């Protein structure tokens, strides 16, 4: 049984963290470790860690300042000792056989670098609302970069550590869409496999207003273009077709306020020299300085 590293990047999710950990402890697959990297939380998370570290299967590390998702998740992977890895958000949970199903899938498909499943949408009390319909298998000749789908590869995503080590690693400069960047890199070093079954409980805030959802989506899309542009550069593909055009289509119908906030979230980024281009795509031209 290969060791399975469950990776948790936590920032102020102390109210839900124990639910996430208990879902790992309840797994039918017992050869696992939990690696937590705390991104300078200011809530009750710190109080929980002292108790958690009494379990040798749980290792906790802390950033000395808030560094964002890309840096924190990269550090999770640097600390991971398992042959198999998968990220679990601190406010989500795993279905009880998730690790067992994924471990068997990786054993049966040694050429796969990345294996992913469907997920349940649940309310804050973990009551199932629906099964996600975004995830699907990639078609013959299709890649995650070229499929133009939203959320085609998403939770629960697992991968072989040896395959990750063949990549440049997670981009620590990405504060959002760091997972998309990882998926692009992993499909460049191996095959992908979709398991049509929900193995993950994804909490959603049923009280969110539409404007806030639009703003958050615009911010995510803006950062996703940075990851897409980097993937295009590695693969020798046109950025216009596989990055900018997708952003334009995905933001059609969004209110100006959402597009502007999305633009402001990435216009000063130094990750790549295309921040200004993305800003123009996301925001109304008349509001760009």
State the pTM of this model. 0.84
Contacts 24+ apart (CB under 8 A), 210-218: 211/255, 211/257, 211/258, 214/254, 214/255, 214/258, 215/257, 215/258, 215/261, 215/262, 217/250, 217/254, 217/258, 217/262, 218/251, 218/254, 218/258, 218/259, 218/261, 218/262, 218/263, 218/265, 218/282
How does residue 244 score in pLDDT terms, banded at 50, 70 and 90?
low
Pick the range with the lowest mean pLDDT from 82-91, 205-214, 217-226.
Answer: 205-214
Burial class from Cβ neighbours inside 10 Å (0-12, 13-18, 19+) for residue 172 reads: middle
**pLDDT confidence bin for 289, thresholds 50/70/90:** very low
Q: Among 78-87, 94-103, 151-160, which stretch is predicted with the lowest mean pLDDT?
A: 151-160
Mean pLDDT score of the chain: 82
CATH number of 4-203: 3.90.550.10
Identify the burial level of 7 via C-beta atoms within 10 angstroms of its C-beta, where 0-12 means exposed, 13-18 middle and 19 or more buried.
buried
- Domain layout of the chain by residue ranges: 4-203, 210-287
Residue 289 burial (C-beta neighbours within 10 Å; 0-12, 13-18, 19+): exposed
Query: Predicted confidence band at 52 (pLDDT cuts at 50, 70, 90)?
Result: confident
* Predicted local confidence at residue 230, as pLDDT: 87
pLDDT in tens, 26-49: 999 999 999 999 998 998 888 888
Alpha carbon 152 to its chain centroid, in Å, reads: 12
pLDDT digits (tens, 9 = 90+) for 134-186: 889 998 888 888 876 667 898 899 999 999 999 999 998 887 889 999 999 99
Choose between 229 and 127: higher pLDDT. 127
């Amino acid at each position: 049984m290969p060791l399975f590293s469950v990776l948790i990047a936590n920032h102020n999710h102390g109210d839900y963290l124990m639910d996430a950990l208990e879902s790992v402890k309840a797994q039918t697959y017992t050869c696992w470790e939990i690696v937590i990297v705390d991104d300078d939380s200011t809530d009750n998370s710190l109080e929980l860690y002292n108790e958690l570290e009494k379990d040798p299967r749980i290792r906790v590390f802390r950033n000395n300042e808030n560094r964002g998702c890309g840096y924190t998740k990269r550090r999770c992977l640097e600390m991971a000792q398992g042959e198999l890895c998968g990220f679990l958000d601190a406010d989500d949970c795993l279905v009880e056989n998730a690790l067992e199903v994924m471990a068997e899938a990786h054993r049966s498909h040694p050429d796969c670098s990345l294996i992913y499943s469907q997920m349940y949408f649940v309310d804050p009390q973990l009551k199932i609302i629906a099964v996600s319909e975004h995830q699907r298998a990639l078609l013959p000749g299709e890649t995650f970069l070229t499929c133009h789908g939203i959320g085609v590869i998403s939770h629960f995503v697992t991968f072989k550590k040896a395959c990750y080590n063949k990549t440049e690693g997670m981009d620590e400069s990405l504060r959002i869409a760091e997972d998309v960047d990882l998926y692009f890199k992993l499909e460049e070093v191996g095959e992908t496999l979709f398991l049509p079954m929900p193995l993950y409980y994804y909490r959603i805030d049923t009280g969110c207003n539409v404007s806030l959802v639009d703003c958050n989506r615009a911010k995510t899309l803006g950062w996703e273009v940075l990851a897409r542009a980097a993937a295009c550069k590695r693969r020798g593909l046109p950025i216009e077709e596989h990055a900018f055009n997708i952003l334009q289509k995905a933001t059609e119908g969004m209110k100006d306020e959402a597009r502007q906030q999305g633009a402001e979230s990435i216009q000063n980024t130094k990750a790549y020299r295309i921040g200004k281009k993305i800003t123009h795509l996301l925001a109304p031209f008349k509001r760009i300085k």
